[in-house]
Chains A and B, each alone.
Chain A
Amino acid sequence: MAAVNPPASEIGGLQEETLQSRRAVGGEGSGRRSRLSPLRLARAVVLVGVVFGAAAGLILTIVFGLAHLLGIGGTEWVGLLNIVGVAFILVMMTATLLIVAERKWSARMQNRVGPSRARLFRNEKWAFYGIPHLAADGLKMIFKEDFVPPGAARLVFSLAPVLAFVPAFALIAVVPVGPDIMAFGTEVRFQVARIDMGILFIFAVASVAVFGATLAGWSANNNFGMLGALRAAAQMISYEVALALTLVGVIIVFQTIRLEEIAAFQDGTMWGGLIPAWGIFFQPFALILFLAAAFAEVKRAPFDLPEAESEIIGYFVEYSGMKFGLFMFAEFIEIVALSALIVVLFFGGWSIPWVSHEALQSWLAIDVGLGTDWAALAAAFVGLFAFIAKMMFFVWLQMVIRWSFPRFRYDQIMNLGWKALLPLSLVNLVVTAAAVVLDPTLSLALAIGLGQAFLLIVVIISADSPKRGMMAAAQHDHPQEVSCST
């Protein structure tokens, strides 16, 4: 986001602080950050585990506890509890923390400290990894002047941030974040809506997300905003096709479009317990294609052409205050929702490899001696924990990718979308369909998937020279072209 780049004076202050803190630790010197002692690692793992566990416990308490107290288990009202537990607690809180996390992680990657000035009660020790900056950010957004540029289409200008925010938030509605449980006579699920459309709902909602960015750029009466809007529309429409086609292979393998059934299928194993039945093992190639298309849909670097803060600032160039905040927040929510989706489709959802939910539950009930009801709750906790841990990994991965790669040129974006991703996803679709038709037990599909994974690993390892990379090849094709606009 444009807001991430701090002004020069702030950078100067931070560098000064880096030096001061390094001087302060004295003997350890500047090598302090690079050395990873086992103690620090263990502390970090425990801290992360406690945070994930707290989140899982909170969701479990809200959804199951309230359903049990109110006696609404097994009804559609559980969906309302999930709106609170999953949508507000998990997605909103993660997205909120990402506002700080992106700055912190990008700072780490650039050898900076990142936001560190906001502290609770001005206490030097209470910096809390920069999290108090959330309050500073929120207050800044709320109290900034809400400016509408002259000549803007006022209604659309005010509507566009909402149109960008709502589809991003609605994506999480069909994602199951935990296993269905039955304990103390109360049956709950950890999914907001259990609908017939499943993945189609995701496609439909994602296709509507284009309107927010496009209308924002158009309504502001600003040529840079207009460029951003046109880029956003062209890019998102182009990549929607590839996004949908890559997932058709996954649908063919799992034989359903309902996400809860896909997650439950991946709880099992293939080849007599040798390999977990995760989507990644059937469709590793589709995962790569899906990641590329999904990053383009979220409009983050290296696909941040609609934004491109160094050239056109983007479709939200005229927005200020909380309206800009909604665009920023929508992007972070999309990151979280996309990570959740990747986990459900390719990485087993709430399942843990090789241990099925039933086996875990009976082990906890009989061998550990928790009793059936508490064992069900504990197994649900494990499932929620596994989901959150996997989801956070992909959130982190998206952050790392965003701060590692330079922006594509516009023609590269279009070539990648139409000439690479689309044909490759069609090939993947044909191969998967043939494999499933030839062998309905999915063994052939799994073998092909593992072969693809092996090939991909070989390609990634052997591609040590940047000259063999796709971007270098594209630059070779057009050596004279400068960055072109729409």
Chain B
Amino acid sequence: MRITTNSTFTAYQRNITDTQQRIDRTNQQITSQKQMIRLSDDAVRLGEIQDLNSIIDRNASYNKNLEEAITELMNTEEHLERFANTADSARLIALDAANPTNFDKAPVFARQLRDVLDDLVNQANADFNGRFLFGGTKTTSAAITPVAPETTNLPFEIITEAATPANPSGLRVAFKGNNETRTINRSASATEPVNITALEAFGTGGNEVFQNIINAYNTLAFNSDGSARTSTDKLTESETVLLQNAVKGLSTSFDSVSEATARTGSRISRLTAITEQMTEESFRLKVLRSEREDTDIAAASIALRKDEMSLQYSLQVGAKLSQQSLLDFIR
């Protein structure tokens, strides 16, 4: 093929431009640490990266949810354990009081039970990050509207009403929350409950445990005729039966709280396992994304060096190419 002056220079110029473009691209890949500079660099790979990003983000979101749920559940577990211990102390007090040798201490036991009741109600009103733990979906005080004789915006409140033969103290614990389960998404299709309802923890109506204590208190603090019991007033046979029933009720309540605590513990274990599994999956996905997205610095550096050398030699050759022609020899 006939070679012309222009074709020599055009080919030379083209080679130089190509090499410079490659150098520029490799430079960008190294500085940005991303293989893809433009979307159109690789449409298929782009699709894969988008999908991986989406899954990684979604997993991160679920993981965050689960971690927060675990924290809340751990807090719930702690409160339930404390509640169970306190409820058990009420059972022990009632058990002691049922012992005929302790008949003269009934008023003292009654006072102790009253104090325990206060403690338990306080514990049932426990909150985490400003949210009531056992109020169901009524998690804030703003959501709780007291209805007379209730006075507080808390989920549990001790109310003193008019004395009746069945309830000489007139005490009652009002539950103003609900027993709705709060759930979070832990995957695209699965949900996870993150709260223990009052029903699960404290029995029927969300306040059975308190009623059992009040029953024991009423038996110890009042005689059958409604008068206040003194240290000389022995428990009658029927009162002893009532007290024993209250002890049984407290045992059941203790079991109920313990069961809720155990359920919380196992939920924490399961969620922790899911979180770990999800973290592991995210790690693998990030590796996959990195393989598709990130620049192989070693390979890019070698390519850059190669192109730089190529450019350098091209420039040298080009300079020689254009140095002389036959015209230089015409005298």
Chains A and B come from one and the same complex: no
| Partner-B contacts on A (CB < 8 A) | none
